[in-house]
Chains A and B, each alone.
Chain A
Amino acid sequence: MKNKFSISAIFFSGLIIIMVSCSKNIEGRTYNAPALTPANIDLEAGSWKTVLLTRPDTFLLPVPSAITLPGYIGELNEIKGLQLNLTGAQKENIKYWSAGAVLRWNEIMRELVAKHNLPPYQNEDGIYPIPTAANAFAYPQFPFSNPPYAARAYAYVAAAQYDALVAAWHYKKLYNRAAPYKVDSIINANALAVKTDLPSYPSEQAVLAGVTAEMMKMLFPTEIAFINQKVEELQLATMGSGACVRSDWTAGETLGRQIASLFAARGRTDNTSKAVGTQAQWDSLATATSGKGQIPWISLELPVRPPMLPFFGNVKPFLFDSLTVVNVLRPGPPPSTGSEQMKKETQEVYDIVQNPSSDKIAIIQLWADGVGTVTPPGHWNEIAAEDFVNQNYSEVRWARNFALLNMAEMDAAIVCWNTKFYYFNPRPGQLNPAIKTLTGTPNFPSFISGHSIFSATAATILGHIIPERANAYNAMAQEAALSRLYGGIHYRSDIEVGLDVGKNIGAYAVHRAITDGAE
């Protein structure tokens, strides 16, 4: 009897401990990020070097009305009314956005990328349908935000945000209209916003809402309703927090949308629309490779899937020109497919995947960033964002740093894809079908490793932005790169050359950072 009870007691108390000790409630790491409190408001950011804007005042922003006029007094009353009637949910919304609008829009971008990062399912005849922006809602929905598409999307949004905020800062300094919490003592007393000396016309949150929403509509056309809802939430959060009045908001949102139009125009003519190619073009890649005496890449998927965006390598980069891609950054050839070296490297991949340790599998998983994820550039945005949270940047500096990172990542994608489809080099599993992989085999050529080039590029520019983290970023890049060898989908030379090329691309971003006026 005693025996029975003691065993039962241990057993049931064990159950209770398991259930009680682990609440199922999960919060994201940045959900409770502190309110953005800039160490420096960067009042001079209106003079920073822009990406596409020729001048910070290319788009005219009207002179705001004086704060003594009745119209403005009415706007202050609107804020007071909002402050008096904030619900718990609205306060939560204010808290969420207070961590920084660049941060939150970046997280929303990553969510959209992950959501749309699905390769189309084949038709009954085995042909894969291709998503088109013209028919975005039909299956397969546009876009398939694979790594090159995602790299470009992150870059356009970040660069447009940066230019828009530089313009905003120009007008903030020029018109110098104080924030409502500076103007009115009642708003000041009730303000939930972090109070700074930064002028509020135009509202930086509004500029970000306008420019980001407009870019996202181009990049993720099925998400317009979702994006509009985020714009409204941000507007209510900003005005309800006492940070801006309606005219600050309206001017900012309009300015943001105007600046987005510049980037959208570039996006329509940057060669992305030709990145898919045709069957004849795909065939010619194989023919050209055979002509050089090399085994051409073939898709390892069934039904055979056309390669992922094979002509993305011709997209117009941000940090250098297309000739630099081909003449300077594209590396020399991989080991010949018939060489002893290639045989050795293929054998190395085979040996590595035989009996994977759980440590190796963990590394492969951490960096896989495959289907349904934010992609490798998105992963580096995540790493950057969670470090930027601790840096007390102004919004414009947040945007500048993300623009540097993401323009570099897009350009890395361009150089990588240009290289992959120039050499059209087979995956290890094609040369030796006995190689089974511990992550999905990407549907494009092997040389050079995308993860390696993305990671080295990101580590280089991020190491410049936060020097005390440089070693950590480089170690992460090494691990990310090697994870592809551990996973059985890349040869060692894909990785080593990819890391070298990534560092070179990162150097262009560092050069821009040194000369953009922000340091």
Chain B
Amino acid sequence: MDRLTRERYVERAVWPIGRGDRNFWLSVAVLSAAVLAGLYAWIYQLRNGLGVTGLNQKVSWGFYIINCVFFIGISYGGAMTSAILRLTNAKWRAPLTRIAEATAVAALVVGAVYPIIDLGRPDRFLTIPLYAQVGSPIVWDLVAISTYILASFVFLYLPLIPDFPVALAALGDRSKFLGPLYRLLSLGWRGTLGQEKALRRGVGIMAVLIIPLAVSVHSVLALLFAVTARGGWHSTIFAPLFVLAAMLSGVAAVILVVGALRKVYGLQEFITAKHFRYLSYLLVALGVGYLYFMVSEYVTEGYLLESTTTPVLEAIFTGAYAPAFWAFSVGGLVFPLILAVAPGRFPIGRACLASVLVVAGMWLKRFLIVVPGMAEPIMPWDWGRYSPTWVEITITIGSAAAIPLILIVFFRFFPVMSVHEMDEVEGVEERARPLLVPGFAGGGDD
């Protein structure tokens, strides 16, 4: 990357910062309206109790548990694209990592609210650590999710540190009110050799740590279901199946966000068809893995046909839930995987379309895990029914809108592509070091 290209790269990376054009404010208005509607529905539920939802005595878990698993799954894109690509030293990752890490944090924060929304007594949420019964999967979930949130924030923040001086220099007079914030957050970064070394070590440790953390979160989320005696839930493959599902939906979400932001922020020069092709390979590898896990689960259960699993399998394959199941497995898994890697024109468009289908399909799959397992007649009674009310639907839409809202607000303050990481993969010796920035004492060995 020559000096001019690097300048353009930095310019694009900081382009959205402080820029409030009509499209920006329009998006903020629309997304905020959806989030506020969701908040209103939640407040309504807090005042009136869970009776305002479609949940009932038989189906006592519904949209909230589905969304919790779904949104936390989306956050795996960060762990995958950023950490694994970093560890395998895949150089093409550089312009994508920031977006992937930010998406992870946004989705994770949204997903982590859902266990609280689902509680009958959310006011007692904080008593869980007080009375924590370590044998309960809910306690495992809480420990795993909160550790993972902390790690995801650190994983987003660490690579940001060296970008603050660069961004401040590139922003020029646009940086007036950001200066103090950046100086505070940059922790006195001057780019000395010692600092570089410490940062590289820190990011390396986080990249290693975040993978087992991510794996642990969806494993214990899976145990929430797998430790019960319900049909379709009590499965030994559930933990790895959940982890793979989360990674698959996470990579799909990263493709989507990258595809959208590339257009919105004009990053076409640096995020190219190559990136989408590589991400598609990742998507397909995970998708095929997921398909394999899923088939092996259904074959094992379907062959023996135990009394608890049979009704669920029948309902999923041929019964009331069959439309959703076949829509997911064909339209949300097999077809998009072919679409994403088939040779031909429009690789970017196809990767994005495939990702939309995968993300939607993975939501359906979580629905197919939670609801039929709940509705199944475990006693000699009829199938349970579940139809969500406006409360659950509004909260779901509001929470989904919160993710793009968090992202565009975040990128209004912080560079959308990592400059330091690009410098790193391009080679330290040939990189153009940032000039001495007024306000940043020292300036290193320039």
| Co-complex (A, B) | no
